[in-house]
C-alpha cells in the first residue's frame, strides 16, 4: 500500500472520523482546525444511527455507544401543558462530547493543529496545496475538506464561491444541568422526549449526558431546541448579533447572546410554550443560537480535493443525520482510497456518496416545510 500524505481542513467529528481511519491504514495525516480553543463542549446529545455504530466498530471504540441517556417515552404537550400524544418508544441519546473526545484522543500531538486557518487551496497534477492565513504553504497527496457549512475547500472543489443558503429560521438552544430545572418542570420533562408545536415553530427537549459523560441521575443535562422564524436579512442579522454588537454569520455560541435578547425569548416562552418547557427556557442562563442552512454540492471531489460531512451537504438538524452522514462519508472515502489510485478513488467516492447526501438534504427540507409553510404567526 502506498502511504499517502493527507491534510484535513476542519477538526470536528467529520475530520476526526476520517483522520482516525486513515491513520489506522498507515497514512501520514494532519488536521488543521481554525478554532484556537478547540471544539470540546460544543455538543449535546445525538441519535445513534447505523453509520455511527459502524464507525465506532471500525475505530475500535464501541464502548462510546454505552455512554447514553434513554428517554423512556415521547410526549407532545399542548399550550397548557396537557399531554396530547404519548408514545412508549424508548430513545437513546449518545454523548457528542464523549464521542468527540474519544476520536480527538486518537489524533495526537502536532497531527491536530489548532489555530491554523486555511485560506487558500489549489492543486496541480502532482499535489494539492494549502495556504495559511498566518503565512506558509503545505503540499499533500490529498486534501479533505471537513470544514463544515462555511467550507473553504468547497469553493476550490467547485471552482466558485459556494455558500450555504439560510433557510429563514434558527434554533434557539439551551443546555443546562438537570438540577437547574424547577421541580414541576423536572417532573414533566426528565426521562422523556418532549415536543410542542405552534404555527411556524416548534420546541423539543430531552436529557443528555453530563459534560464529562456522566449518566447518573443528578449529573445529566437537559437539552432543548426551539425552532423559530427569523426570515430576511434584517431579522437574521438581529438574531446573530452578539452582546458586543458583532454580527456572526452562522451561529451565536453560549455566553454571547445579549441579555435583552434572552429576556425577550423568556417572555415569548412564557406566552407561547407549555409551562414546563417555558420553565426550561427561563432556567437557561446561557442560551445559544444555531442558524438553519441548506447546501448540496454538485461535486464531492475534484482531482486531489474531496469534501465530506457538512462541507459537502448541509442538512437541516431535524434529520438528526449530521454525525451519521459524516461517518458514512469517512468510511466510504477510506475504503475507496485503499483500493484505487487517488483521483480514481475520489471519483468513485463522489459517485457513491453524492446521492446519499442529496437525499438527506431533501429530507431535511421536507421536514423544515412544517415550520416554514405557514407564515410566522406566533401570537
* Beta partners for residue 364, in sequence order: none
Per-residue pLDDT tens digits for 112-149: 999 999 999 999 999 999 999 989 999 999 999 999 99
148 and 182 in a single domain? The answer is no
Q: Which three cell numbers stand for residue 218?
A: 443528578
Please give the pLDDT value at position 257.
96
Query: Which CATH number covers residue 353?
Result: 3.50.50.60
- Give the whole-angstrom CA distance, residue 181 versus residue 187: 9
Q: How confident is the model at residue 31 (pLDDT cuts 50, 70, 90)?
A: very high
- Are 314 and 275 members of one domain? no
Alpha-carbon distance 208 to 48, whole Å?
Answer: 13
Is residue 379 in some structural domain? Answer: no
Whether residues 139 and 108 fall in one domain: yes
User: In the predicted model, what is the mean pLDDT of residues 343-349?
Assistant: 98
Distance between CA atoms of 269 and 273, rounded to whole angstroms? 5
> Which pLDDT does position 376 carry in this prediction?
38
Q: Decide if 46 is inside a domain.
A: yes
Q: Is residue 376 part of a domain?
A: no
pTM of the model: 0.92
Q: Is the pLDDT of residue 375 over 90?
A: no
Do both 268 and 226 map to the same domain?
A: yes
- Give the pLDDT confidence of 41-74 residue by residue, as tens digits: 666 778 889 999 999 999 999 999 988 899 999 9
What value, to the nearest 5°, has the Cα angle with vertex 166 and ends 131 and 145?
25
- Identify the pLDDT of residue 377: 35
Last residue of a domain, one of 265, 292, 319: 292
What is the pLDDT confidence band of residue 369, given thresholds at 50, 70 and 90? confident
What pairing do the DSSP bridges indicate for beta strands 305-307 and 5-9?
Answer: unpaired
Reference 268, options 352, 338, 201, 351; nearest CA is 201
283 within some domain: yes
Q: What is the CATH number of the domain that holds 250?
A: 3.30.9.60
Say yes or no: 254 and 266 in one domain.
yes
Give the residue among 218, 153, 220, 225 at the shortest CA–CA distance from 195. Answer: 225
Q: What is the pLDDT of residue 43?
A: 67
| pLDDT class of 240 with cuts at 50, 70, 90 | very high
| Span 286-303, pLDDT tens digits | 999 999 999 999 999 999
| Domain identity same for 22 and 151 | yes
In this predicted structure, the answer to whether residue 379 has a pLDDT above a threshold of 70 is no
Q: Tally the domains of the chain.
A: 2
**Domain extent for 183:** 69-94+167-292
pLDDT at 207: 93
CB 276 within 8 A of CB 131: no
Q: How far apart are CA 306 and CA 350, in angstroms?
A: 8
**Alpha-carbon dihedral of residues 376, 75, 262, 219, nearest 10 degrees?**
-160
- Average pLDDT of the chain, as a whole number: 92
Query: Residues near 342 by Cβ (< 8 Å), separated by ≥ 6?
Result: 4, 141, 142, 304
Q: Which residues contact 314 (CB under 8 A, 6 or more apart)?
A: 149, 164, 293, 294, 295, 296, 361
Q: What share of the chain in percent tops pLDDT 70?
A: 96
User: DSSP letters along 30-72, please?
Assistant: EEEE--SS-STT---EEE--HHHHHHHHHHT-GGGGGSEEEE-
Q: Is residue 378 part of a domain?
A: no
Cell numbers of 344, please?
A: 480514481
Where is the domain boundary, 292, 321, 339? Answer: 292
Q: Are residues 84 and 110 in the same domain?
A: no
Strand 251-252 and strand 288-296: the pairing is antiparallel
Has residue 258 been placed in a domain? yes
For the segment 273-281, the average pLDDT, to the nearest whole number, is: 98
3 state SS of 170: strand
Q: Is 159 in the same domain as 175?
A: no
Distance separating alpha carbons of residues 261 and 242, to the nearest angstrom: 9
Residue 49 lies in a domain: yes
- Cα distances from 364 to residues 21, 240, 295, 369, in angstroms, run 28, 22, 11, 9
What pLDDT, on the 0 to 100 scale, is given for residue 378? 36
State which of 240, 260, 292 marks the end of a domain: 292
pLDDT for res 222: 95
pLDDT digits (tens, 9 = 90+) for 254-276: 899 999 999 999 999 999 999 99
- Mean pLDDT within 165-174: 94
Nearest CA to 192 out of 76, 273, 46, 45 is that of 76
Residues 80, 181, single domain; the answer is: yes
Whether residue 330 sits in one domain with residue 194: no
Pairing assessment for the beta strands 251-252 and 221-229 based on DSSP bridges: unpaired
The fraction of the chain above a pLDDT of 90, given in percent, is: 81
Is residue 363 a part of any domain in this protein? yes
Give the model's confidence band at 35: pLDDT under 50 very low, under 70 low, under 90 confident, else very high.
confident
Residues 177 and 46 reside in one and the same domain = no
Are 259 and 361 within one domain? Answer: no
Amino acid at each position: 500500500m502506498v502511504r499517502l500524505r493527507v491534510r484535513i481542513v476542519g477538526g470536528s467529528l467529520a475530520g476526526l472520523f476520517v483522520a482516525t481511519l486513515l491513520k489506522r491504514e498507515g497514512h501520514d495525516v494532519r488536521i488543521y482546525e481554525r478554532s484556537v480553543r478547540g471544539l470540546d463542549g460544543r455538543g449535546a446529545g445525538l441519535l445513534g444511527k447505523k453509520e455511527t455504530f459502524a464507525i465506532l466498530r471500525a475505530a475500535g471504540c464501541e464502548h462510546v455507544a454505552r455512554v447514553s441517556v434513554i428517554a423512556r417515552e415521547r410526549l407532545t404537550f399542548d399550550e397548557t401543558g396537557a399531554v396530547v400524544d404519548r408514545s412508549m418508544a424508548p430513545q437513546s441519546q449518545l454523548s457528542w462530547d464523549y464521542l468527540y473526545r474519544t476520536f480527538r484522543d486518537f489524533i495526537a500531538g502536532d497531527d491536530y493543529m489548532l489555530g491554523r486557518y486555511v485560506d487558500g487551496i489549489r492543486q496541480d497534477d502532482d499535489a494539492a496545496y494549502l495556504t495559511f492565513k498566518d503565512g506558509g504553504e503545505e503540499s499533500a497527496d490529498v486534501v479533505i475538506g471537513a470544514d463544515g457549512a462555511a467550507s473553504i475547500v468547497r469553493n476550490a472543489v467547485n471552482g466558485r464561491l459556494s455558500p450555504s443558503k439560510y433557510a429563514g429560521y434558527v434554533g434557539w438552544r439551551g443546555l443546562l444541568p438537570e438540577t437547574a430545572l424547577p421541580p414541576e418542570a423536572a417532573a414533566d420533562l426528565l426521562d422523556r422526549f418532549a415536543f410542542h408545536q405552534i404555527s411556524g415553530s416548534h420546541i423539543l427537549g430531552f436529557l443528555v449526558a453530563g459534560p464529562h459523560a456522566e449518566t447518573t441521575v443528578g449529573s445529566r443535562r437537559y437539552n432543548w431546541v426551539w425552532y423559530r422564524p427569523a426570515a430576511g436579512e434584517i431579522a437574521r442579522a438581529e438574531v446573530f448579533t452578539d452582546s458586543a454588537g458583532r454580527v456572526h454569520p452562522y451561529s451565536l455560541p453560549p455566553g454571547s447572546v445579549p441579555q435583552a435578547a434572552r429576556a425577550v425569548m423568556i417572555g415569548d416562552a412564557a406566552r407561547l410554550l407549555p409551562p414546563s418547557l417555558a420553565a426550561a427556557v427561563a432556567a437557561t442562563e446561557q442560551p445559544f443560537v444555531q442558524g438553519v442552512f441548506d447546501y448540496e454540492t454538485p461535486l464531492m471531489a475534484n482531482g486531489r480535493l474531496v469534501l465530506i460531512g457538512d462541507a459537502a451537504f448541509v442538512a437541516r438538524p431535524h434529520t438528526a443525520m449530521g454525525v451519521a452522514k459524516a461517518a458514512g462519508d469517512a468510511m466510504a472515502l477510506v475504503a475507496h482510497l485503499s483500493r484505487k489510485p487517488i483521483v480514481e478513488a475520489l471519483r468513485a467516492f463522489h459517485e457513491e456518496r453524492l446521492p446519499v447526501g442529496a437525499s438527506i438534504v431533501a429530507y431535511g427540507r421536507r421536514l423544515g416545510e412544517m415550520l416554514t409553510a405557514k407564515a410566522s404567526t406566533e401570537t
